[in-house]
Each structure stands twice: as C-alpha cells, then as structure tokens.
Amino acid sequence: MDAVTVDYLKSGMKAEAERTAPPPGFPPLPLVPGARYTDPAFLELEQRYLWQRSWLFACHADEIPEPGSFYLFKRTGSPIIVVRGKDGQIRAFYNSCRHRGAPLVRECQGKVDGLVCGYHGWTYGLDGRLMNLRDKRDFVDLDLSKYPLHSVRCESLGNWIFVNEDPQAEPLLTHLGPFPEQLEEIQPGQVRFVHRKSYPVKCNVKVLLDAFLEVYHLKSIHQNTVDRFLDHRGTFITLYKNGHSLMCTPNRRPDWQDPGTRGMRRIETASEITSKNNPSFNFYPNLVTPVDATGNPFILFWPTGPRSMEIEIVWFAPDWGSGEIDPLWQTRLSNFERILEEDTQFAEQIQESVESGAFKGITLNYQERRIYHWHEELDRRIGAERIPEALRVKQVLKDWVAS
Ligand code: FES
Ligand SMILES: [Fe+2]
C-alpha cells in the first residue's frame, strides 16, 4: 500500500471510532429479501450469472509445480483442469474429451505427461491440442486441429491462479481494481502454499459469506478470541466497483501482536496497516482474505446445493526458503479453526429461519453495508430485469462506492 492509502485507512479508522451516527446522507438500507437465500429460481440465476461468470480462485502455483501437474476445479458445476504446460505456462480447460465428453483426469490433483482420455484414448497435449486418436481411418475428414480441448480463462495475481468460465470477462487484474496494487506489499508472487481444507456447512452459501463481511458480530460470538484484539467500532469500510470491498479493523492496542504469530517469519514489505491492523479484502464474489505480515488465508465460500455449502481455507506463508515450514504453523491453523467454529455455529439455524414463513428479509445497518453492496452487485450481474421484483434489492449505495 502506498503512503496515501495508508493515511486514508488510518484516518478512516479514527473517524469511524469517533462517529456517533452513520455519516450524513447515508441511506437506510432496504431489507434484503430472505427468498434470495432459498428460492430455487433465484439460485439458478445466481448459478448461471454469478458463479459461472466470475473470477474464482482455483489454486496456488505451488500446487501445480511441474510441467504436467494439474488441479481439477469443480466448484462451478463444470469440471475444469488447471494444468502447467511444458513451457511452464498455466492454462485451464474443461475436463471434457471432444469425442464423447469423458474426463481427461479423474484425480483432484496429480501429474501427467499428456491428457489422455480413458474412454477411447484420444490424446491431447498439455496445451490442449488434440495430438492423436485411435482408428483415425474410421472418422471421415476429421481435422485434429479443430478439436482442441475447450479452454477456460485462467489468469493470475502473483502465485494465485483464478479461472473464469466467461470468455468475455474483463482481465482479472483490471477486474480487481485497486487490489493488486494494495496487495503488492505482501508479495503475491513470492508467498507459498501451506495448507488447504474444506468444511461442509448446511446453509445457503450466502448465509456464511455474510458473516465474513462484517465485524458487528465480534462481541457476541468471538468474545474470547477476535474481540479481544480487534476494535470493531473503528472498522473502516471501502466499497469498490465490481462488488469488491475492503474492511480495515484496528487492533485494540497499536503494539499488540497475535500471540499465535509471534516468532513467525514476516514479510518485510508489509505496511503499517497490514502489520498493526486487520485489513480484510473481499474479492467478489467468494474470496475473503484477512492479510497479515506473517501470511494470510483465502477463505472461500462454495455453493454445493441450495441449502449446503463448503467453506474452504487455503493458507499462504512468506517464502521460508529451503527445508520444512515453521512448526508454529500447526498452532496457527488450529487457532484459526477455533475461530471458524465460532463463525459457523449459527449458520444451519439461520438457514432454517430464512426458510420459515416468518422471515421476510435481512435488516442491515451501516457497518454491515458490505453485505448490501454484495447483493446489489449480484443483481447487476444477473440483470435486474431477470429477477422477480419481490426478490430484487434496490440500488442505493452507488454514491458510496469509491471511484
Ligand atoms: S470420450 Fe474421450 S476418447 Fe472417447
Ligand atoms: Fe467472525
């Protein structure tokens, strides 16, 4: 972060801590209709216009280290292989043979010399070109060059690899607005992969995602953990274009350091904001990352059904050179799991609530406005005209989005 951004965030947090009401002119936020979390037709629109058209984190470059290493990504309903080519370049393809659709790889992760279909043996290069097929004499005029694997957009921010099923999507780094520059200080091209784990939760994906877009809940559910070191009343939020947002929460004491990270390797270039506060980014739609000089998790939210989801945590650490990773990471991961349990505890019952006839909508306050911003963006992506009026959200935050 440059000095201007650091000052902007510091003075923003100070002003938040001192204010006695929302800023003048801030609009009351309309109810977010509960049916947006349950209605099958709405969730189908969301699947088609959001999940299958967004930049989504797939894997870290370390997870596919060598030519032929692949990672199978199936979070949008479509099977997508992310694979490193002989030229070192990372590409993504649908895991779907051009003959009759059988998969080229069946493991979630692995290493191959080429992509060979197990059904009838069509063989593709790591760059997706169809190289060879059995009994070519039986195909009339089949031009191999016309049958490459269908490719999927695949772009990176440093070592973080994203895919997007929308061929027209704007480039990832443009789409992310100021984030790539703001995150340069934690060196996305240097951080290394540590660990990945998913946890199933019985709720609509948005129920849990909402919890990671605000800190209003700290005093209730994180009394003995996060609330002890973060001051939620100083939280300063910036809403950005494309649904992204940043929430920066000050530590209670400027000299405080998470005991769980004491003694860990630190990224030298991390700014004061990252070292002494808790900046948490939401890459729209489903990636939340609270960054820190000692490493950061990607907290990812994946729908697995209308009433089920998985929260996936992928950890990254500053480059630790050769040898084993610092054993302190074990404690770090288990501490985080404890916080995660606190965050997930109500999700299933919230889902029951929103399913009930009594629940009409979600009431949001000023410090929960990232959730409203998230929903506004969803309607823009789906196209309001496709959404039944009773399920739409009014667009009220436009003047509160950073230009
Ligand atoms: S489906 Fe792949 S070779 Fe037949
Ligand atoms: Fe939380």
In angstroms, the CA 62 to CA 60 distance is 5
Give strand pairing partners of 300.
Answer: 287, 312
* Ligand nearest to the backbone CA of 101: 1
Asked whether residue 171 is domain-assigned, the answer is no
Residue span of the structural domain in which 138 resides = 56-157
Tell me, in angstroms, the distance from the centre of ligand 2 to residue 212's CA. Answer: 6
pLDDT band of 55, cuts 50, 70, 90: very high
Asked whether residue 144 is domain-assigned, the answer is yes
* Number of neighbouring beta carbons within 10 Å of residue 100: 10
- Residues 124, 33 share a domain: no
- Residues 182, 126 share a domain: no
Tell me, in angstroms, the distance from the centre of ligand 2 to residue 225's CA. Answer: 10
- Residues 375, 300 share a domain: yes
* Ligand nearest to the backbone CA of 104: 1
With contact defined as beta carbons under 8 Å apart, do 107 and 64 qualify?
A: no
3-state secondary structure string, 74-86?
A: CCCCCCEEEEECC
CATH of the domain at 300: 3.90.380.10
- Residues 256, 344 share a domain: yes
Whole-number pLDDT of residue 390 = 96
* Ligand nearest to the backbone CA of 130: 1
Final residue of a domain: which of 157, 190, 211?
A: 157
- Residues 266, 368 share a domain: yes
> In b/e form, how buried is each residue of 346-380, taking b as 16+ CB within 10 angstroms?
bbbebbeebeeeebeebebebbbbbbbbbbbbbbe
The mean pLDDT of 205-210, rounded to a whole number, is 98
Establish whether the linkage from the previous residue to 285 is cis, with ω within 30° of 0. Answer: yes
pLDDT in tens, 233-289: 999 999 999 999 999 999 998 888 888 888 999 999 999 999 999 999 999 999 999
- Residues 328, 276 share a domain: yes
Whole-number pLDDT of residue 159 = 98
- Residues 13, 125 share a domain: no
CATH of the domain at 97: 2.102.10.10
Asked whether residue 206 is domain-assigned, the answer is yes
- Residues 196, 141 share a domain: no
Asked whether residue 86 is domain-assigned, the answer is yes
Asked whether residue 390 is domain-assigned, the answer is yes
Tell me, in angstroms, the distance from the centre of ligand 2 to residue 62's CA. Answer: 29
Whole-number pLDDT of residue 260 = 82
* Number of neighbouring beta carbons within 10 Å of residue 232: 21
Q: What are phi and psi of 199, to 5 degrees?
A: -130, 120
Pick the closest to residue 45 from 390, 297, 379, 376 (CA basis): 379
The mean pLDDT of 354-382, rounded to a whole number, is 96
Mean pLDDT of the chain: 96
The mean pLDDT of 92-120, rounded to a whole number, is 98
pTM over 0.85: yes
Residue type, 335: N
Which residues surround the ion ligand 2 when the cut-off is CB under 5 Å?
343
Whole-number pLDDT of residue 257 = 83
Residue holding tokens 């061929």? 167
- Residues 47, 76 share a domain: no
Q: Tell me if 58 CB under 6 Å of ligand 1.
A: no
Whole-number pLDDT of residue 376 = 98
Percent of the chain's residues with pLDDT above 70: 100
Tell me, in angstroms, the distance from the centre of ligand 2 to residue 226's CA. Answer: 8
Longest dimension (CA), the chain: 79
403 pLDDT exceeds 90? Answer: no
Asked whether residue 168 is domain-assigned, the answer is no
pLDDT in tens, 156-205: 999 999 999 999 999 999 999 999 999 999 999 999 999 999 999 999 99
Final residue of a domain: which of 157, 190, 215?
A: 157
* Ligand nearest to the backbone CA of 99: 1
Q: Tell me if 218 CB under 6 Å of ligand 1.
A: no
Tell me, in angstroms, the distance from the centre of ligand 1 to residue 94's CA. Answer: 14
136 pLDDT exceeds 90? Answer: yes
143 pLDDT exceeds 90? Answer: yes
Q: Tell me if 163 CB under 6 Å of ligand 1.
A: no
The closest residue, in CA terms, to atom 4 on ligand 1 is 120
Tell me, in angstroms, the distance from the centre of ligand 2 to residue 318's CA. Answer: 24
- Residues 60, 50 share a domain: no
Q: Tell me if 120 CB under 6 Å of ligand 1.
A: yes
Whole-number pLDDT of residue 313 = 98
* Ligand nearest to the backbone CA of 120: 1
3-state secondary structure string, the chain?
A: CCHHHHHHHHHHHHHHHHCCCCCCCCCCCCCEEHHHHCCHHHHHHHHHHCHHHCCEEEEEHHHCCCCCEEEEECCCCCCEEEEECCCCCEEEEECCCCCCCCCCCCCCEEECCCEECCCCCCEECCCCCEEECCCHHHCCCCCHHHCCCCEEEEEEECCEEEEECCCCCCCHHHHCCCHHHHHHHHCCCCCEEEEEEEEEECCCHHHHHHHCCCCCCHHHHCCCCHHHHECHHHCEEEECHHHCEEEEEEECCCCCCCHHHCCCCCCCCCCHHHHHEEEEEEECCCEEEECCCCCEEEEEEEEEECCEEEEEEEEEECCCCCCCCCCHHHHHHHHHHHHHHHHHCCHHHHHHHHHCCCCCEECCCHHHHHHHHHHHHHHHHHCHHHCCHHHCCCCCCHHHECC
pLDDT in tens, 332-357: 999 999 999 999 999 999 999 999 98
- Residues 108, 75 share a domain: yes
* Total domains in the fold of the chain: 2
Establish how many alpha carbons lie within 13 A of residue 302's alpha carbon, considering only the half-sphere containing its beta carbon: 20
The mean pLDDT of 60-81, rounded to a whole number, is 97
Whole-number pLDDT of residue 352 = 96
Whole-number pLDDT of residue 244 = 98
Asked whether residue 195 is domain-assigned, the answer is yes
**What's the token pair of residue 401?**
């989005």
Tell me, in angstroms, the distance from the centre of ligand 2 to residue 146's CA. Answer: 50
- Residues 214, 308 share a domain: yes
Tell me, in angstroms, the distance from the centre of ligand 1 to residue 133's CA. Answer: 9
With contact defined as beta carbons under 8 Å apart, do 278 and 248 qualify?
A: yes
Asked whether residue 40 is domain-assigned, the answer is yes
pLDDT in tens, 299-330: 999 999 999 999 999 999 999 999 999 999 99
Q: Tell me if 99 CB under 6 Å of ligand 1.
A: yes
Whole-number pLDDT of residue 381 = 98
The closest residue, in CA terms, to atom 1 on ligand 1 is 100
119 pLDDT exceeds 90? Answer: yes
The closest residue, in CA terms, to atom 3 on ligand 1 is 120
